A = this chain, B = another copy of it.
Amino acid sequence: MVDQRFFANHGPLRLQEIVDLTGATAKGDAALSLVDVAPLDRATASDISFFDNPKYIEQYINSAAGACFVKDKFAAQAPAGMALLICDDPYRAYALVAQRLYPFVPPTDGISPKAEIHSTASIGTDVTIDSGVVIGRNVSIGDGCIISANAVIGDGVSVGRQTRIGACSTISHALIGESCIIHRGVHIGQDGFGFALGRDGHVKVPQLGRVVIDNDVEIGAGTCIDRGTGPDTMIGEGTKIDNLVQIGHNVQIGKRVIIVSQVGISGSTRIGDGVVIGGQAGIAGHLKIGPGARLAARSGVAADIPAGKVYGGTPAVPIKDWHRQVIALNRIIKKDVRGSNDD
């Protein structure tokens, strides 16, 4: 199924091993051997799949998967012969199995002679540094880090253990935690967009803070994170940021936040723990987004958002109100059409 030019399969797994790994309850032969993961519509008898999104129930009912993670309530609809792995969160269980079958295998290329590493930099053990990487003065790179080709790491930056930095990324004025994944073309630590505006010219305001990124953070390709003005720009543990996101100076992002692609967060805004921000949303500066709040894709946020609430629209309102706005607008135009027919 999977293209072996790119991915090496570490299977098979017996059904019992999957149960041990995920805590699922199995309905099937504990000795069943499963080789690979696959989506419902492509899976064969040796594959493990999952059923999570009810939109795909037809695929589930007709799937040839050998085993499938599924919630208890859908067990009765399973096709005959499919081993079931009953659990509360099929996608999470599937992720754990996929990680076991396709573990991240670090490269063993070591440090390229074509990397340019300043003599004052401190490089840990088992570090991979590819060709074209440039590492500045007094940089600290932790054990097990992987710095991919043509990445540039500026003076004084520190990078924690097991962190990976993608090709053509640039990092300056930053402290980066452990086990982070910085994808390709990410730009961290440039000075933020700080000007004292004036009719005769805009005066640049020195940006004297840093970017501080906690452990287990993932940052998508092309994303830009400006350093703080004096306080720091901060990103909390376990937060995951998608591609092409803009994060302004002094923004503080909590733990386990999810930020989908092309979101923009303006300067000095604070995002609480566990917030989820949909794609292309924009958040104005100096706001507070309460812990656990959720913002629909393309929300335009111009005021604080209370903890735990779901908002949408521009300017963002409680999601039910946004739905009502949409319904009201559609009702109005139908009246208008009727009215104009009556004329």
Is there contact, CB below 8 Å, between B195 and A184?
A: no
A261 at the interface (CB under 8 A from B): yes
A155 to B149 Cα, complex, angstroms: 12
* 64-102 of chain A: CB within 8 A of chain B: 89, 91-92, 94-96, 98-99, 101-102
User: Pick the contact of A337 from B39, B220, B298, B324 — CB < 8 Å?
Assistant: B324
| Chain B residues, CB < 8 A from A148 | 152
A147 at the interface (CB under 8 A from B): no
Known: A6-B173, A92-B196. A266 touches B240 (CB 8 A): no
Known: A98-B205, A102-B206, A317-B330. A220 touches B230 (CB 8 A): no
Known: A116-B114, A168-B185, A170-B184. A193 touches B240 (CB 8 A): yes
| Chain B residues, CB < 8 A from A297 | 266, 282, 284, 300, 302
- The stretch that binds B, out of A12-20, A24-32, A121-129, A130-138, is A130-138
A183 to B138 Cα, complex, angstroms: 22
Known: A131-B116, A150-B168, A193-B240. A42 touches B230 (CB 8 A): yes
| Chain B residues, CB < 8 A from A55 | 286
User: Pick the contact of A6 from B150, B156, B330 — CB < 8 Å?
Assistant: B156
A199 to B92 Cα, complex, angstroms: 12
* 280-320 of chain A: CB within 8 A of chain B: 280, 282, 284, 286, 297-298, 300, 302, 314-315, 317
User: Pick the contact of A196 from B91, B169, B183, B315 — CB < 8 Å?
Assistant: B91
Copies of this chain, count: 3
A264 to B324 Cα, complex, angstroms: 25
Is there contact, CB below 8 Å, between A224 and B243?
A: yes
Is there contact, CB below 8 Å, between B261 and A279?
A: no
User: Pick the contact of A264 from B172, B209, B261 — CB < 8 Å?
Assistant: B261
* 158-194 of chain A: CB within 8 A of chain B: 166-170, 172-173, 183-185, 187, 190, 193-194
Is there contact, CB below 8 Å, between B333 and A3?
A: no
A5 to B210 Cα, complex, angstroms: 10
List the B residue with the shortest CB-CB distance to A101.
B206
A274 at the interface (CB under 8 A from B): yes
Is there contact, CB below 8 Å, between A187 and B327?
A: no
Known: A42-B231, A149-B152. A328 touches B333 (CB 8 A): yes
12 CB < 8 A contacts A-B: A5-B156, A98-B206, A116-B131, A150-B150, A150-B152, A166-B170, A187-B221, A187-B222, A246-B279, A266-B297, A315-B326, A325-B330
Residues of A within 8 A of B (CB): 1-3, 5-7, 37-39, 42, 53, 55, 89, 91-92, 94-96, 98-99, 101-102, 112, 114, 116, 130-132, 134, 138, 148-150, 152, 155-156, 166-170, 172-173, 183-185, 187, 190, 193-206, 208-210, 216, 218, 220-222, 224, 226, 229-231, 238, 240, 242-244, 246, 248, 256, 258, 260-262, 264, 266, 274, 276, 279-280, 282, 284, 286, 297-298, 300, 302, 314-315, 317, 321, 324-330, 332-333, 336-337
